[in-house]
Chain A
Amino acid sequence: MATEQFLIAGELRADSFLPWIERHIRRLGLHGAASWRADGQVEIILSGPPDLIDAMELGVSLGPIDVWVETVGRRPLANTETA
């Protein structure tokens, strides 16, 4: 298990994006949530198996048709969970 932060930049204005992300998180069986940041980027905090976090990056890099994702920045977060 790993926990990561994604910072997504691009043309993201669409209202559809956050629900799309949260649906895709569930489809992959990951735990996480997405939110808008003040600078217009979307932040996702995710935890799950590394291969599935990679899959999430891939899915979100294409995203819904009304969104253009330019970059997905990934940063590992300190893993506080030991269970």
Chain B
Amino acid sequence: MSGDPILDEWYPVALVSQLGPLGRDTRLLGQPIRVYWGTDHQPQVSDANGRALPVTCRYGHVWTCPGTPSRPLFDIPEADQPGRRLVDVGVVRVKCSPLRAVENFLDIAHFPFVHTDILGAEPHTEVGRYDVQIRDEVDEVWATKVQFYQPQAAKSAAGGITTEYMYRVPAPTVAVLYKTCPPRPGEWDVITLFVQPLEQDLCEVWPWMALFDDTTSLTDLIHFQQTIFVQDRSILENQLPRLLPLDPGMEIPTRADMTSIAYRRWLKRRGYSFGAQLVAA
């Protein structure tokens, strides 16, 4: 019964497939925790005092909650859809606020400059109008009808195409991307960013994917996603201030930043401040 909006969320703390017999000593929200295999052969998590924390295993990862979960772990229905490949990408440590990692994942305008010739390329830099809402019935942020020119949408694609995206924030440190899937018109590939907040300015990022792709090797899929994220890391570790401002008074958000602003509004309304900066600086 913590009632603290920060403590009562679910956080990713390990990959089930990579949790070794010795377990994993790590941190969550500035506190040490331990992830390990219990006697019932299920992953368990305990805090510094040895107290057992709630655990859910889903989407390849071990999730825990240091307080009392305010709701069950969010649902990604596509994870159970037959025919998808579920890809555990691994972990990347980033010296940035966990909230900045999520915000960056929601951003398309940086594709031509940060992921040049992969996810975007000049002169195709314009961000068209798209829809963003905080969906009260599920308490999530959604951005839909996001379109962007992509020079190489898939390995098989000869030229560029306009790709459609949807973004979803179902928990403060989780972002889910739905992307049109060239081999399966009408379906969406799902790429997620699960962020483990170690400290206010340090996080570990666990990308995960549920794709319709029977041809690309697992190594290539993982390598592709890691390449993208290493490019993002060079941004995330060099933004000022280190924490995510919940007051945009020292920034100049434009319509292309609508998802970022909706995410920050949603954090502000929930009173979620771990990794956030309340006053503009």
Contact = CB atoms under 8 A, between A and B. Distances in A.
B30 interface: no
Contact of A58 (B254, B269, B278, B280): B254
A58 B249 contact: no
B261 A20 contact: no
Interface in B217-262: 246-249, 252-255, 257-258, 261
Contacts of A37: none
B129 to A, nearest CB: 9
B268 A68 contact: yes
Interface in A16-64: 20, 23-24, 27-28, 51-52, 54-55, 58-59, 61-64
Contacts of A51: 254-255
Task: Specify which of B246, B253, B278 lies most central, judged by the most chain A CB atoms within 10 Å of its CB.
Answer: B253
Nearest to B255: A54
Contacts of A20: 249
Interface size class of B (residues with CB under 8 A): 10 to 19
Task: Specify which of A23, A24, A64, A69 lies most central, judged by the most chain B CB atoms within 10 Å of its CB.
Answer: A64
A68 to B, nearest CB: 7
B264 interface: yes
Contacts of B280: 64
Nearest to B276: A65
A64 B247 contact: yes
B261 A55 contact: no
Given A62-B246, A65-B278, A54 B269 contact: no
Contacts, number: 49
Task: Specify which of A20, A24, A61, A68 lies most central, judged by the most chain B CB atoms within 10 Å of its CB.
Answer: A61
B161 interface: no
Given A23-B249, A24-B249, A62 B264 contact: yes
Contact of A27 (B252, B261, B268, B278): B252
Given A58-B258, A68-B269, A63 B252 contact: no
A65 B264 CA distance: 11
Given A68-B268, A68-B269, A62 B254 contact: no
24 contacts: A20-B249, A24-B249, A28-B252, A51-B255, A54-B255, A55-B253, A55-B254, A58-B248, A58-B254, A58-B257, A58-B261, A59-B248, A59-B249, A59-B252, A59-B261, A62-B253, A62-B264, A62-B268, A64-B247, A64-B279, A64-B280, A65-B246, A65-B247, A68-B269
Interface of A: 20, 23-24, 27-28, 51-52, 54-55, 58-59, 61-65, 68-69
Given A61-B261, A65-B268, A65-B279, 14 more contacts: A28-B252, A51-B255, A54-B254, A58-B261, A59-B249, A59-B252, A62-B246, A62-B247, A62-B253, A62-B261, A64-B280, A65-B247, A65-B278, A68-B269
For the complex of A and B, list the 8 residue pairs with the smallest distance between their C-beta atoms, beginning with the closest: A65-B278, A55-B254, A54-B255, A58-B253, A64-B247, A58-B261, A62-B248, A65-B247
